[in-house]
Amino acid sequence: MSQHGGAAPVASTDTGVTGPTRAAIEARTLRTDRWWVSPLLTFVVFSAFVVYATIRAFMGRDYYASPYLSPFYSPCLGDCVEGASDFGQPFRAFPLSAALLILIFPLGFRMTCYYYRKAYYRAFWLSPPACAVAEPHQAYSGETRLPLILQNVHRYFWYAAVLVGLVLTFDTVLAFRNAEHEWGHMGLGTLLMLVNITFIWLYTLSCHSCRHTVGGRLRHFSKHPVRYRLWTWVSRLNVNHGRYAWYSLFSVALVDLYVWLLATGTITDVRFF
């Protein structure tokens, strides 16, 4: 009993948006704008890409139309069609689609990306759905428990993403050939692959992990002028990291779609020279 005769106050055990340190506002949000548009669009676009990429990854065919190789299947290390394997077929006995051998690396890089985390946390988990909008969850543990603690391996996926970028760059160089592998030619597929690899590198090099790799753990930038210059350059790219994430998502799907249509004979490649 309290000194005034009433019942002693009970300590609140609420967490999340109903915690004792949060503003006591019953409304989900006081925002009057259409805050739900962004997470809704993200949900629709991400879902469409996941469905499309999953179908293409499990198809195991129509991924090569000489000289173009779909980025979903590069490098093609499984039982691939003739001409698609520039690095051999060490996993030829793999029973499933060759895309499943390598997609884990670019997928892991994107799924653990700082920007994509924010995007799908808001769009799929509503945690929170937008700034100044209460989330429906009563508790929040951050990325300290399974499965979200696995997000901390993002830096290692970045290393793998650099290797994937180098392979896709090599594929783009090979795209300056005709169907008979003669050099000095360029088609619409070549142009699309050039655009794609540009966005892939912009997305990869603007990554927060790249910024930390080139400039992290330094006490004095003045003693490391080269790393400081690299850090400054990556920092400028980092401002548009989210934009590059979207552009590269669209470009990689567009290149795969173009190769798919070529491989099935639906369209023919437009050759510029």
The reported pTM is 0.86
CA–CA dist 47, 41 (Å, integer): 10
Q: Which domain holds residue 92?
A: 30-263
Residue at 18 is within a domain? no
Residue at 7 is within a domain? no
Tokens of 204: 């990869």
Residue at 268 is within a domain? no
CA–CA dist 39, 129 (Å, integer): 7
pLDDT tens for each residue of 178-230:
988 899 999 999 999 999 999 999 999 999 999 999 998 888 888 899 999 99
Residue at 44 is within a domain? yes
pLDDT tens for each residue of 99-150:
999 999 999 999 999 999 999 999 998 888 999 888 877 777 778 888 888 8
Collapsing DSSP to helix, strand or coil, 3 comes out as: coil
Q: Would you place residue 18 in the very low, low, confident or very high pLDDT band (cuts 50, 70, 90)?
A: low
Radius of gyration from C-alpha coordinates of the chain? 24
Residue at 132 is within a domain? yes
Residue at 270 is within a domain? no
Task: Please tell me the total count of domains within the chain.
Answer: 1
Residue at 13 is within a domain? no
